[in-house]
Amino acid sequence: MSSEGMLPDDDVVIRASALSKRYRLQARPLARLREALVGDRGDGRDLWALSKVSFELRRGEALGVLGRNGAGKSTLLQILCGALRPTEGEALVVGRVAPLLQLGAGFHPDLTGRENVFLSGSVLGLRRSELESRFDDIAAFADLGLYLDQPIRSYSRGMNARLGFAIAVSVEPDLLIVDEVLAVGDLLFQQKCMTRIQQLRDGGTGLVFVSHSADHVRALCDHGLLLRDGAQRYFGDSEACVDLYLKELRLEANQSRSATGEDATPATRESAVVERQTRGTLRYGTQQVRIVDVRVQDEQGLAARELPFGAVVQLEVEYESTIDAKWLNVSFLVRDETGVDLMGSMTHDEGLELPEAAPGDRGRVRFRFRNRLRPGLFGLSVAITQIPPDRPREPILHDQIDGVQGFSVPHDPDRPVHYKFDAEVEAFLG
């Protein structure tokens, strides 16, 4: 249930206590009808879509909700929005809630975008006078041009997303609930959404954010909630939640390979660095071609843990194959302390063709780039894939290791870097 009244702690926008939602599954339609009419439960069984989920969210904080399909994410959001009632437990929600759960939900397909602004805004609790005063801002954010006066049925999914998000954030809610909307639309729209969400958070709006993007959760959220088969797996720091989620995905991938008879642990000799970084965890990929060594070096090829701004960074990756493999591709990503991808490249994009490999063959790749990063700590993710020329968008992932190496960039008072990544820019008069 939800409540518009203030909780004892005025900073709290959500307090969920042992939230549970049960559905009754019947094998036959007639059995469902008998249960509804006379209460005969028959031979059906209970399905707990959500089980004993508890957490608290304060004003200005953001909660990222992670989990596989069927984990209970949508059920949780519907309860928080008041669209579902929990079977057990309760959810107290303070203030105005702006849900964005499904693209175009509530839009009338035969009405224009302009007409749907007033229709959806009224559903969210805004008076017509309020919508009229905010209409120009909504239209500017959605950026639909002449389509604003066309029927919604002519809109693409991305256009639906832009209009739906623009309306939801216009109500200046106490709680914004967003379900995967950033997965649709172009990059400019996603950046606008991220900026607007941060503005709302700065103003005290709480955010519940569902996404399969680890980077979005890391960048936006203070807390993370991991659900698995309806049960609460973890609630706490967002970075730790993302790490646990990714580890579970890797575990499932490796278990799936074992079930199909694939060799998940080929006999390869790894360096101490790779062995240490991956001990106790499982990696992405088939492991048929496996990364066995990763080194961070300076321009002279010497091992380096600290690299000043402007220095040449050399990354050396060694791999070993257990199969006949061609079209191999080695890639890397540099990530900051929050897990956001800053830069990277791959041999495929750089035009470097790797030799075909036979079982037992080893290969080595070196990347070089000039350090343009601000002072701080940075981690490296390295991967090896196959990119078939007839299916370039369907690479085969053989091995990926996140956080296998790292390096630091010291502060230089003579050359301050104000942004995460400093591009080479010329400044001149006239």
User: Does one domain contain both 152 and 223?
Assistant: yes
Asked, for residue 427, whether it belongs to a domain, the answer is no
Asked, for residue 301, whether it belongs to a domain, the answer is yes
User: Does one domain contain both 194 and 290?
Assistant: no
pLDDT at 276 over 60: no
Cα–Cα distance measured from residue 244 to residue 227, given in angstroms and rounded to the nearest whole number: 11
User: Does one domain contain both 284 and 381?
Assistant: yes
pLDDT at 379 over 80: yes
Encoding tokens for residue 379? 């981690």
Asked, for residue 190, whether it belongs to a domain, the answer is yes
Encoding tokens for residue 25? 């599954």
User: Does one domain contain both 191 and 112?
Assistant: yes
> Each residue of 279-302: pLDDT tens digit?
444 467 888 999 999 999 999 999
Q: Which domain holds residue 402?
A: 273-409
Which of 195, 219, 242 delimits the end of a domain? 242
> Each residue of 39-88: pLDDT tens digit?
666 666 788 999 999 999 999 999 999 998 889 998 999 999 888 999 99
| Amino acid of residue 18 | A
Q: What is the CATH number of the domain that holds 312?
A: 2.70.50.60
pLDDT of residue 63: 95
User: Does one domain contain both 135 and 198?
Assistant: yes
User: Does one domain contain both 356 and 223?
Assistant: no
Specify the DSSP element, H or E, that contains 295: strand 289-297
User: Does one domain contain both 46 and 92?
Assistant: yes
Encoding tokens for residue 238? 């967002």
pLDDT at 169 over 80: yes
Cα–Cα distance measured from residue 330 to residue 321, given in angstroms and rounded to the nearest whole number: 13
pTM attached to this predicted model: 0.62
User: Does one domain contain both 48 and 182?
Assistant: yes
Cα–Cα distance measured from residue 407 to residue 309, given in angstroms and rounded to the nearest whole number: 12
Q: What is the CATH number of the domain that holds 34?
A: 3.40.50.300
pLDDT at 145 over 60: yes
Which segments within 347-388 are labelled E, that is strand?
362-370, 376-386
Could you give the number of structural domains in the chain?
2
Asked, for residue 425, whether it belongs to a domain, the answer is no
pLDDT of residue 263: 47
Which of 225, 242, 259 delimits the end of a domain? 242
**Residue among 251, 259, 254, 260 nearest 228 (CA):** 251
Cα–Cα distance measured from residue 322 to residue 181, given in angstroms and rounded to the nearest whole number: 41
Return the top range by mean pLDDT from 22-31, 241-250, 310-319.
Answer: 310-319
Asked, for residue 426, whether it belongs to a domain, the answer is no
User: Does one domain contain both 189 and 288?
Assistant: no
Asked, for residue 63, whether it belongs to a domain, the answer is yes
Asked, for residue 251, whether it belongs to a domain, the answer is no
Return the top range by mean pLDDT from 22-31, 213-222, 343-352, 385-394.
Answer: 343-352
Using alpha carbons, list the distances in angstroms from residue 412 to 65, 377, 426. Answer: 39, 14, 20
pLDDT of residue 283: 64
User: Does one domain contain both 217 and 280?
Assistant: no
Q: What mean pLDDT do residues 154-167 have?
A: 86
The DSSP line for 115-163 is HHHHHHHHHTT--HHHHHHHHHHHHHHHT-GGGGGSBGGG--HHHHHHH
User: Does one domain contain both 182 and 60?
Assistant: yes
pLDDT of residue 273: 60
Asked, for residue 423, whether it belongs to a domain, the answer is no
User: Does one domain contain both 31 and 161?
Assistant: yes
